[in-house]
Each structure stands twice: as structure tokens, then as C-alpha cells.
């Protein structure tokens, strides 16, 4: 797979970006305007050296390339208030999803029935969760689906912890429902996290999230072992953590249909005009075809959302 052209330009590696664009043009049998590939016309952002305004100053280009060579770390994501909150939220969600995901898989052998049937069932239930995401993720949005999946898994796990051991089939059914929800949430996080982190820090942010997930996977086996003390305890812990994770995702912005941020400055402003209760599935500002109110502003129709009071042209 070729490297991202946008990322290469953000890093000042314009020659490599040019070669990839030319290769894509050849494969698609189209011509690329030569002025777009001219290094003197590279678009540069005044801060952080990514795309914004056109500059024909070659010294500015070289200066930007030097700035792009500065190593970017996860600490940069924690220096600004908005991205700090979102980063910690994503780190926690990744850790919880991995912990509950692997924990429920391991805990299937302690549910009381046939360990082989229970384990296979917990694996097969991931298939419909992936199909569900494929069908509705773009329609309902990342935020609403992630929140719903985490809350669904949390409620199912927490409830199963209070079911008497004699109701084995009900406990298994709720555990499978919890695995369904957390599997859906885990697959959504890969897409959602990459869209929230800005282009120049995307690999750093997602990589750190993945590291947090490995920590959750390590803790999963210890949580499962608590069943020796009190059998429903692992399910109760899984449920509480999933519920907390689902509540925290409410504070993240929706990314479907939005222009994604490229720099930390854009990330700070991204979603700032959006209420925490703004979900694509129920908020009119996320559904241009069904505005709740509309007014004419500068010959453009603008919709006003009653939920988040956000006006958007359509």
C-alpha cells in the first residue's frame, strides 16, 4: 500500500507525494495539472507546516520541511486541553474494550455449561456485530454506535452478574449479548480513533491507543481469575467498565460527514460547536434532509438544530 499523500505533504516529503500522485494518475488514465505538482506551489499551513495557503517562497518550503522533521510524540496530544480530554477518553475506551473482549472470551469456560459450545458461541457472535457495523455505521454515525455498543455490552454483563446460577441459559445469553456489544465497539474504535486524531498525529495516537488495549488484554486474565473469589464478579466488573466507557464517549465529537482535522489547531476547534448530545441518528444538524427549522442567510438555506443549537448550511 502506498503512503498517505496528505501525510507525506504534512511531513514535507513532497517528492514522494508527487510520485504517488503520478502513479495513481497513470493507473486511472487521467492527467494531473502540472502546476499542482510544482514544489513552488505547494500549499503550506502557517503553523505546523501542513496544507492551508499557497506559498511560492522556496525558503518557506525548506523551512517547513525542517519543522516537519521534528519528531512528533504522544505528549504533543496531551499539551492542548481538548485533545488531552479526547485522547485520555480514547485510551480508556481502548483499554476497556480489550479487557472486556478478551475477558468475556476467557470467562466463557466458567459459565457452567459445555465449555466448547460456550467458547465457540462467544467467537461466532462477533460475526453479526461486524455485519451490523457495516450496515449502519455510516448512517447512524461513529459516536452514536460506539456509545450504544458500549452501553449494550455493559448492561448485559452487569445484569448477568445478578442472575442466579441456576438460570444458566440466561447467563450465557446475556454474556453473548455483552460480547456482541463489545465486539462492535472494538471494531468501531479503529475507525473512530483514526478520524479524531489529526493527520500528523494519527499514527502516534492510534498506536498509543493500541498500546492501551494491550494493557487491557493483560489485565483481562487477572479479572477473570476473580471468579474464584466470587463467581459473578468478573461480569460485574466488565459491566461497570463498559458502562463508564459508554458514558465517556458522549463527550467525543461526531466525525461522519465532517472535514477531518489535519493539525492540532484544527483538532482543538473540531466539534467545538457541537453539543455532547448531538448524535447523527437523532440530531437534525447531522441529517440535512430533515431540518427542524430553516432560515435564509445570505441566499443560503441554514438549518437550526433544536438539540445542539448548531446552524449548518445545506
Q: How many other CB atoms are found less than 10 A from the CB of residue 129?
A: 21
pLDDT at 303: 54
Q: Which backbone phi and psi does 312 adopt, to 5 degrees?
A: -135, 135
- What digits encode the pLDDT tens for the residues 42-77? 444 444 444 443 443 444 445 555 555 567 788 888
* C-alpha span between 55 and 59 (Å, rounded): 10
pTM of the predicted structure, to 2 decimals = 0.73
* C-alpha span between 12 and 48 (Å, rounded): 11
Q: Is the pLDDT of residue 206 over 80?
A: yes
**Can you list the domains of the chain with their CATH numbers?**
5-68 (no CATH), 74-251 (1.20.1250.20), 283-313 (no CATH)
Of 80, 84, 85, 97, give the one whose Cα is nearest residue 212.
Answer: 97
Of 209, 286, 227, 243, give the one whose Cα is nearest residue 104.
Answer: 227
Of 285, 307, 281, 283, give the one whose Cα is nearest residue 294.
Answer: 285
Cβ atoms of 303 and 285 within 8 Å: the answer is yes
pLDDT over 90, % of the chain: 35
* C-alpha span between 28 and 53 (Å, rounded): 28
User: With 0-12 CB in 10 A as exposed, 13-18 as middle and 19+ as buried, what is 109?
Assistant: middle
* C-alpha span between 21 and 24 (Å, rounded): 5
Output 175 or 113, whichever has higher pLDDT: 175
Length of the chain: 314
Cβ atoms of 235 and 155 within 8 Å: the answer is no
Q: Is the pLDDT of residue 275 over 80?
A: no
163 grid coordinates: 442472575
Of 181, 193, 174, 178, give the one whose Cα is nearest residue 93.
Answer: 193
Collapsing DSSP to helix, strand or coil, 302 comes out as strand
Cβ atoms of 263 and 198 within 8 Å: the answer is yes
pLDDT band per the 50, 70, 90 thresholds, residue 39:
low
Q: Is the pLDDT of residue 231 over 50?
A: yes
pLDDT at 297: 42
Amino acid at each position: 500500500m502506498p503512503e498517505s499523500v496528505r501525510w507525506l505533504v504534512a511531513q514535507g516529503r513532497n517528492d514522494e507525494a508527487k510520485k504517488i500522485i503520478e502513479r495513481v494518475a497513470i493507473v486511472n488514465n487521467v492527467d494531473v495539472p502540472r502546476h499542482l505538482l510544482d514544489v513552488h506551489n505547494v500549499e503550506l499551513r502557517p503553523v505546523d507546516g501542513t496544507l492551508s495557503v499557497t506559498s511560492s517562497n522556496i525558503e518557506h518550503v525548506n523551512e517547513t520541511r525542517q519543522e516537519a522533521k521534528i519528531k512528533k510524540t504522544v505528549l504533543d496530544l496531551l499539551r492542548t486541553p481538548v485533545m488531552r480530554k479526547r485522547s485520555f477518553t480514547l485510551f480508556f475506551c481502548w483499554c476497556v474494550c480489550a479487557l472486556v473482549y478478551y475477558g468475556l472470551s476467557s470467562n466463557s469456560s466458567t459459565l457452567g455449561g459445555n465449555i466448547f459450545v460456550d467458547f465457540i458461541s462467544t467467537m461466532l457472535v462477533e460475526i453479526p456485530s461486524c455485519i451490523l457495523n457495516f450496515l449502519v455505521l455510516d448512517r447512524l454515525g461513529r459516536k452514536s454506535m460506539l456509545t450504544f455498543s458500549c452501553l449494550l455490552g455493559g448492561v448485559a454483563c452487569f445484569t448477568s452478574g445478578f442472575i442466579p446460577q441456576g438460570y444458566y441459559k440466561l447467563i450465557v445469553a446475556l454474556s453473548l449479548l455483552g460480547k456482541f456489544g463489545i465486539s462492535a465497539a472494538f471494531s468501531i474504535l479503529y475507525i473512530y480513533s483514526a478520524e479524531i486524531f489529526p493527520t500528523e498525529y494519527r499514527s502516534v495516537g492510534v498506536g498509543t491507543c493500541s498500546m492501551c488495549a494491550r494493557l487491557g488484554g493483560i489485565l483481562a486474565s487477572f479479572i477473570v481469575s476473580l471468579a474464584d473469589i466470587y463467581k459473578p464478579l468478573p461480569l460485574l466488573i466488565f459491566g461497570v467498565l463498559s458502562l463508564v466507557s459508554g458514558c465517556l464517549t458522549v463527550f467525543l465529537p461526531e466525525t461522519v460527514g465532517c472535514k477531518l482535522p489535519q493539525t492540532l489547531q484544527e483538532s482543538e476547534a473540531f466539534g467545538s460547536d457541537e453539543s455532547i448530545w448531538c448524535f447523527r441518528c437523532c440530531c437534525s444538524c447531522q441529517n440535512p434532509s430533515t431540518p427542524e427549522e430553516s432560515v435564509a442567510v445570505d441566499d443560503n438555506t441554514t438549518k437550526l438544530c433544536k438539540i445542539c443549537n448548531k446552524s449548518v448550511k445545506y
